[in-house]
Structure 1
């Protein structure tokens, strides 16, 4: 088998010059009969069709295998050296007998291309939508598909009778000129008499019987590659069938080949009492007549000549439908009675809600109403097809909103996709649900859908990277009168956390006899779980490792009592949130612990001079301390805590405070900071008021 495939590829590609991949080509179809092989072909573009009609085709046949033996050298035979269409004069007798011959002759030789006659309503209308060459190309090939003998006359078909069973052949259809063969790809077919199969029967013939007419329908797409048209045969006794006059029924819509498509044909009946029989027979592209389909039979259906007309339809104070209709008295003998039928849509499926209504009755009451329904009165015929009135819309007054939706739940994934679901409401007139969303617990929720959601689930998207950690959802039920329920219980969905907390900041430190006291401003992020304090010794260089000395706490201060005099230390602190995300480290705080952690003497005196006239306070202090780098002055107004107010040079001994008010109490603290990192005792003074 592998050798056959390789040989076929070599034969198909042999004697070909370079042809572009997107060039035109010749498409070939074949049909195997018991004693012959039928070939049909055609160029697949209008331009190639025109060129090959002028130059013609060469038909080659290669015998590839005989029996089970693959021939080492395939036997080549040129069946036709140059095959062209008949000259114009020789088409005349065929044109007089077959319209398809006239279409092809006009396409090949006509100065212009126009179709007239019975099909002008269909063919001409479509032809005028395309250019003339496209018209010639399209309809000549279509006409050739209707009659294989005519296709052979046009040079587009060939019947090979010099064939034997057990042999397999490769046919090549090649443009007759070298120039055309370089621009148009050859076509090929590989077959033999052993591939003969009887033509299949048409499938799924069905009929809809109406008043003096019948609509036939059958599956066309299943056998679209076999049959391109069908004859319809009719009988009144089920034995002797005659073809319905006119051309075979076919479809030129390529979309008919996609999916389970059907062909339809409407035939008229002479009366509604005779039983008529129908069957169909397919015609292949090669003019072969297939077997008949199954036969179906039936009669026309009498149409009830009278139609009910609704004259009154109101809803009374009790919420009941009061309906009156008109129907000719002469028609009562033709009906069994009336039915009241209801549907949710005007063109929907109606169901019977009141039956056994007397033929003489012309009014009724009905109390099982929905919020909005369509009603018809149907006259049930004794024989044939029943008739219904035009529908009327009945809408009772409805001001009652649906119940509040329950069971709202959801989840936000890592991509920000929110999946919501809830329990369905039970109201029969429910239109759907409105989904509301808010990003804070205090803001007004807004709808995220334009129209009510009819399902009990909804997919929303949110940005996981913005700063609000929670998204809030509500649900509102809406009925068909647009009455809205109250909000459902709020659903709080916590978003996946991808944003680390804000870093804390060191605010103060103090080196004393009991160690290093550190203070910091905690991270302002709301979801912070703890702060972690790290320390490393500076003497060990860059290889020193950070050691955690405060594993996890929400405090804002820590006293490190494990420091050693004379060493340098670096401190940093991290914040950790509830999702385990860690902030960036606080910039390292580098400290030098003095050689001896001995508390220095404090400032000996701190005085305050109050100037009520100019509203200022002058602070004066006395100090004999040595190696003072700076003085830190802290200030407090009223009962407020101390805050660092000023830092002045170590030589300075006084300071003015001009930011004071009458009747306000002020407190001041001062301490000295030494060159070695230590600090003095604190001196404090209180001013009761100006």
Structure 2
């Protein structure tokens, strides 16, 4: 008898849930697990849990569940070894079938849950009689039992407690926080591994239930579409009731079953719940919703929304003809069944620059019997709609109709062209957007010569006031010139914009100079070279080094001269070269070096002494030198910073034997070199030293 009762109660609900079971996607983890949630109240903690996989759920129900509580905080003080209490003396299991009878006769969700636990079958029809078919049927039935059982427990706290899937802890202490862990009770027989789960709860976490939010109602002809936000409060409310008031009478529940989110969107979320209510036109309606938690709690009502459904107009106007009177005037004719005249009070004409743009009323209060209107003030492109206004305030709008007068006036040429180019040759052009309503787009032209004919680089119309071009920057051309035209929908083309000159970045180094000749005489070494042929050369730089040395010494930077006399020569063999440098800092390859041999007597480095001692307290470097040569007329002191080349720093008279260098910085390495010059012009080698300050 009781089995028949369960079948009678559950059948309508299963049929109602059939769409849900088809669309639900099962998410399977590596190990099945107990999933637990908690609700903290002011005097107790409510726990709800479920096993996430069907077969593990079945085994867990047979074993039962154990609950353990650990105190982790008391009145704001964290506890390292808080009390650990087992709250269940015996495993929690589903109550026997007989215990469900009273609740199942009053609660459909309890009937569903009892059928899922104890019913001999659960609406799973085998498609055949083979062994594989029977295995499939058993698995399918277990999945259905699992799914409907969890749904029913979600909707009924009492049924969840009777199933052994809910617990109420009334032994808590105000101000304490706890960790509750729920696990499947161990059994003697070997069973599958089911992971336990834990949740933190306690009176400090108590919060009052919030109102449902963003309730709205859109009223149509005999219908109200009611929506409210589900996603933001889905962690609190699992289902809702919708209530309705008619003409100020008391609210009554609209839905026969709880409203909940039965399907997920493609992104895994559904932002709103939706309910369509069939109602009577001409009456005032108000709606409100309240939510239900998985712990049997009922939340406060939402804010109320209201409105009145009205009957749609039976007929819709249609613009049937357009007649151009002159380039500025059009006559519009429309059709509207005269049977609908009694239901309307007027027509109005609206206009827009775009088909789907914003329409503005241009002629109002057109008589009910009128079917044409003359409009003056046409623009280059016009979209019109005629709207019938019902006596009940409902409007019926025609499709849009385009009117475009004859147009031979081109758009204005684009202005304020700007462009920038990167080091890869990508050019970005922009200009002010034209204001013509019938503008179709733009075309871009370019050339490396300002006076030659420009070539189009955008065969297709450019819809935006921005264009990206790519040019070769490894070229001898220094500029690229651009022009832009605008074009309307009648193919009228504007004049060219002003020419914009874009500077092409220089990535090609200048051509190298060529040393033409040199003269080696008593005055020194005179060098002559043919300058670089590149037009953007800013200077030529002359270098010198001893043939045995790897370090080139910069002699001179010359902006226009093509000859140089090196008077600072000593006996030895030297190499000279010259490079060209352009305005962007690019340097050519060095010219082929020349080798020059100088004769004469001079000191060797062994006869020279140089010291550099840093004084960090007084912040200077003491430099001292000595050269064994009585014929010295002056000294030349060179200096370098870090890995830079030596450069002439000071020229001192023959009496000088040292200097304190105060032009220094902390954590910097300095190089110094001393060189002597005799009265006859003979130059000693440079004695070098490195010091770190």
Instruction: Choose which of 278, 281, 287 in structure 2 pairs with 1:268.
Output: 278
Structure 1 residues 545 and 35: CA distance shift in structure 2, 3 A: closer
Instruction: Choose which of 293, 315, 321 in structure 2 pairs with 1:312.
Output: 321
| 2:229 equivalent in structure 1 | 219
Q: Does 1:298 align with 2:307?
A: yes
Shift of 1:330: 4.4
| 1:491 equivalent in structure 2 | 500
Inter-partner Cα distance in structure 2 for 1:505 and 1:80: 102
Inter-partner Cα distance in structure 2 for 1:170 and 1:109: 33
8 Å Cα contact 1:166-1:193 kept in structure 2: yes
8 Å Cα contact 1:534-1:550 kept in structure 2: no
Shift of 1:412: 3.2
8 Å Cα contact 1:341-1:351 kept in structure 2: yes
Which segments of 5 or more consecutive residues in structure 2 lack a partner in the other structure? 1-28, 126-136, 601-693
With normalisation by structure 1, the TM-score equals 0.68
Instruction: Choose which of 215, 222, 229 in structure 2 pairs with 1:205.
Output: 215
SS at match of 2:214: coil
Instruction: Choose which of 160, 164, 182 in structure 2 pairs with 1:155.
Output: 164
Q: Does 1:428 align with 2:437?
A: yes
Inter-partner Cα distance in structure 1 for 2:462 and 2:122: 57
Structure 1 residues 396 and 512: CA distance shift in structure 2, 3 A: farther
| 1:141 equivalent in structure 2 | 150
Q: Does 1:231 align with 2:236?
A: no
Q: Does 1:558 align with 2:567?
A: no
| 1:42 equivalent in structure 2 | 50
| 1:500 equivalent in structure 2 | 509
Structure 1 residues 449 and 57: CA distance shift in structure 2, 3 A: farther
Q: Does 1:588 align with 2:588?
A: no
Shift of 1:271: 3.7
SS at match of 2:559: strand
Instruction: Choose which of 566, 574, 580 in structure 2 pairs with 1:575.
Output: 580
Q: Does 1:546 align with 2:556?
A: no
8 Å Cα contact 2:317-2:334 kept in structure 1: yes
| 2:362 equivalent in structure 1 | 353
Q: Does 1:61 align with 2:65?
A: no
8 Å Cα contact 2:513-2:530 kept in structure 1: yes
Instruction: Choose which of 31, 34, 43 in structure 2 pairs with 1:26.
Output: 34
Structure 1 residues 138 and 458: CA distance shift in structure 2, 3 A: farther
Shift of 1:290: 1.6
Shift of 1:378: 0.5
Deviations 1:176-228 (A, max 9, x none): 23899995442222323454443222233332222222222223333222212
The structure having more radius of gyration, on CA atoms, is: 1
Deviations 1:135-178 (A, max 9, x none): 66555434432222233344332233444545543321112238
Shift of 1:585: 1.5
Shift of 1:77: 2.6
SS at match of 1:144: helix
| 1:528 equivalent in structure 2 | 537
| 1:324 equivalent in structure 2 | 333
Q: Does 1:396 align with 2:396?
A: no
Inter-partner Cα distance in structure 2 for 1:181 and 1:399: 87
SS at match of 1:150: helix
Shift of 1:490: 2.9
| 2:181 equivalent in structure 1 | 172
Shift of 1:338: 1.3
Shift of 1:45: 5.4
8 Å Cα contact 1:221-1:257 kept in structure 2: no
With normalisation by structure 2, the TM-score equals 0.68
SS at match of 2:563: strand
Deviations 1:421-464 (A, max 9, x none): 3223232222444445566766854536966243x455667676
8 Å Cα contact 1:371-1:481 kept in structure 2: no
| 1:188 equivalent in structure 2 | 198
Between 162-171 and 337-346, the greater mean CA deviation after superposition: 162-171
Shift of 1:543: 7.6
Inter-partner Cα distance in structure 1 for 2:484 and 2:475: 24
Deviations 1:509-567 (A, max 9, x none): 677999977554543444222323334565xx5288635356222x6x53748598997
Structure 1 residues 66 and 182: CA distance shift in structure 2, 3 A: farther
8 Å Cα contact 1:535-1:549 kept in structure 2: no
Between 225-234 and 188-197, the greater mean CA deviation after superposition: 188-197
Shift of 1:26: 3.2
Between 579-588 and 302-311, the greater mean CA deviation after superposition: 302-311
Shift of 1:575: 0.6
Q: Does 1:340 align with 2:349?
A: yes
Structure 1 residues 210 and 298: CA distance shift in structure 2, 3 A: same
Structure 1 residues 93 and 450: CA distance shift in structure 2, 3 A: farther
Shift of 1:579: 1.0
Structure 1 residues 362 and 137: CA distance shift in structure 2, 3 A: same
8 Å Cα contact 1:302-1:384 kept in structure 2: no
SS at match of 2:38: strand
Structure 1 residues 426 and 197: CA distance shift in structure 2, 3 A: closer
8 Å Cα contact 1:24-1:184 kept in structure 2: yes
| 2:604 equivalent in structure 1 | none
8 Å Cα contact 2:70-2:82 kept in structure 1: no
8 Å Cα contact 2:280-2:309 kept in structure 1: no
SS at match of 1:285: coil
| 1:249 equivalent in structure 2 | 259
**Over aligned residues, Cα RMSD in angstroms?**
4.3
8 Å Cα contact 1:275-1:298 kept in structure 2: yes
Inter-partner Cα distance in structure 1 for 2:489 and 2:324: 18
Shift of 1:258: 9.1
Shift of 1:578: 1.0
Which segments of 5 or more consecutive residues in structure 1 lack a partner in the other structure? 1-20, 117-127, 596-690
Deviations 1:613-640 (A, max 9, x none): xxxxxxxxxxxxxxxxxxxxxxxxxxxx
8 Å Cα contact 1:26-1:43 kept in structure 2: yes
Structure 1 residues 331 and 227: CA distance shift in structure 2, 3 A: same
Structure 1 residues 151 and 444: CA distance shift in structure 2, 3 A: farther
Q: Does 1:411 align with 2:420?
A: yes
| 2:391 equivalent in structure 1 | 382
Structure 1 residues 542 and 248: CA distance shift in structure 2, 3 A: same
Structure 1 residues 558 and 64: CA distance shift in structure 2, 3 A: closer
